[in-house]
Structure 1
Amino acid sequence: MSELAQGQIFKSFTAALGRAASFDAPYQHWFIERPLPESIIGDLQTTQFPAPELGGVSGKRELHNDQRHYVDQDNIARLPAFAALANAFQAPEMAGAIEDFFSVDLNGTFLRIEYAQDVTGFWLEPHTDLGVKRLTVLIYLSDGDGHGNLGTDVYTGDKKWMKRSPFRPNFAMAFVPGDHTYHGFEARDISGVRKSLILNYVTADWRDREQLAFPDQTVSAGR
């Protein structure tokens, strides 16, 4: 599956970039329709990990690091959809296409993809992703009752709420982290589990190497 699916992911993602909607306020971000093949989305939707237990604590994802899941070496080895994702977004041709579209330098970065699962009680304070993250792409997966209202919250430079992205399967929000790219998640009821992918290209300063798709292999863009 992996080699064929890798090519399908490249074709789907680059085509989706070509029709992406760009917004300038409060910072440049993009809404991307159908970034992944539907077959991959289906596999990701049915991937089973234990749902997190928040214990009344939220606000930052790292508060529950022991319950997070990634497209890491272990999951790449056992889950074909994870392997296809990792290989597709690590590939030089994909990195080159992403660099061209987002005007970002990915050379020397590492691929990190989190399989995020959120339940009622989850919230995220406004944050920018600035620092070790060169690009953020949030790809939404779940379609439970009321999940259409579970998009990413977008804030102004002084952390005032401005808008909320749509949330539906195979829809994405992307941005290049900067000092004003505030985003988060306002607390609200979540029916079942809110599932999404958090795709980042991170610099060599990323400390948690076990989270990376290929801890010993940097990204190199090809043209």
Structure 2
Amino acid sequence: MTAASPASADQIVKTFCASVDAARPFDAPYRHFLMDELFPAGVSEALNTLPFKAPSVEGVSGKRELHNDTRSYFDDANMARFPVMKEVAKALHGPDVTRAIAQKFGAPIDDTLLRLEYALDIDGFWLQPHTDLGVKKFTCLIYLSHEEGHEDLGTDIYVDEKTHHSRSPFIPNTAMVFVPGDNTYHGFVRRPIHGVRKSVILNYVTHDWRAREQLSFADQPIRL
């Protein structure tokens, strides 16, 4: 186990709920939100400096699942190793945060499961436009890194599979949020990445999610 988390789950709950309450809505090209100051001071940077190694894209990109064997999650092993991951997961699994998310965003997350991915993207990475529609009932893309040029590494937002609309700002401790639907196209246009683009992908998924080992508290569904 590494150093203690810079904030407890209760402290994270308080800050995250305040961020949810203040989330800024946008209607074009689909309903989405931007959130600021998700975590208490120190938590975002503690996550940013976790010692995970970025996987090589090896010339292959476009879908995250192409590199499933090298992806990192807030799973049992990592939560035991890194207290900050455990405290964040506890906060995002608890009733205060999940009820705030359901109420603010209209996310149908009762009886879902918490999935948190620690994403590390390097030069050569890109993602084709996709919607997340299906087993993902809520998506929150939390930005962490702050290396040179990372301010332009936000999520690309699309009108449809081929029509680019805009790009979210990539600012540490902020996030882009949406409830997946048939029009919630998003991706990542290939462009230079200096260093490692780090983010946390927060999803609440249905029981049809097959890779149970990726989940936090896999035997404890969300109850609103």
Contact 1:61 1:124 in 2 (8 A): yes
Shift of 1:105: 2.2
Distance 2:80 2:161 in 1: 43
Shift of 1:108: 1.0
Q: Deviations over 1:118-139 (max 9, x none)?
A: 0000000000000000000000
Q: Deviations over 1:135-170 (max 9, x none)?
A: 000000000010000000000035300000000110
**Partner amino acid, structure 1, of 2:164:** W
**Partner amino acid, structure 1, of 2:66:** L
Distance 1:97 1:54 in 2: 36
Contact 1:38 1:170 in 2 (8 A): no
Distance 2:55 2:28 in 1: 33
Distance 1:164 1:157 in 2: 14
Distance 1:192 1:202 in 2: 30
What's the C-alpha RMSD, in Å, of the aligned pairs? 1.3
**Partner amino acid, structure 2, of 1:14:** C
Contact 1:159 1:182 in 2 (8 A): no
**Partner of residue 203, structure 2:** 200
Task: Indicate the percent of aligned positions where both proteins have the same amino acid.
Answer: 53
Shift of 1:78: 1.1
**Partner amino acid, structure 2, of 1:211:** Q
Shift of 1:96: 1.0
**Partner of residue 80, structure 1:** 83
**Partner of residue 186, structure 2:** 183
Q: Deviations over 1:159-183 (max 9, x none)?
A: 3000000001101000000000000
1:59 to 58, 62, 75: 62
Distance 1:3 1:206 in 2: 31
Distance 1:216 1:53 in 2: 32
1:139 to 124, 139, 142: 142
Distance 1:3 1:192 in 2: 25
The change in CA–CA distance for 1:38 and 1:4 in structure 2 (over 3 A counts) is closer
**Partner amino acid, structure 1, of 2:146:** D
Unaligned runs of 5+ in 2: none
**Partner amino acid, structure 2, of 1:186:** V
TM-score with structure 1 setting the length:
0.96
Q: Please, which moves more after superposition, 132-141 or 18-27? A: 18-27
Distance 2:199 2:129 in 1: 18
Contact 1:149 1:166 in 2 (8 A): yes
Distance 2:139 2:14 in 1: 20
SS of the residue 2:216 aligns to? coil
4+ residue segments displaced more than 2 Å: 1-4
Distance 1:212 1:18 in 2: 26
TM-score with structure 2 setting the length:
0.96
Unaligned runs of 5+ in 1: none
Q: Deviations over 1:164-213 (max 9, x none)?
A: 00001101000000000000000001000000000000000001000001
**Partner amino acid, structure 2, of 1:52:** P
Contact 2:17 2:96 in 1 (8 A): no
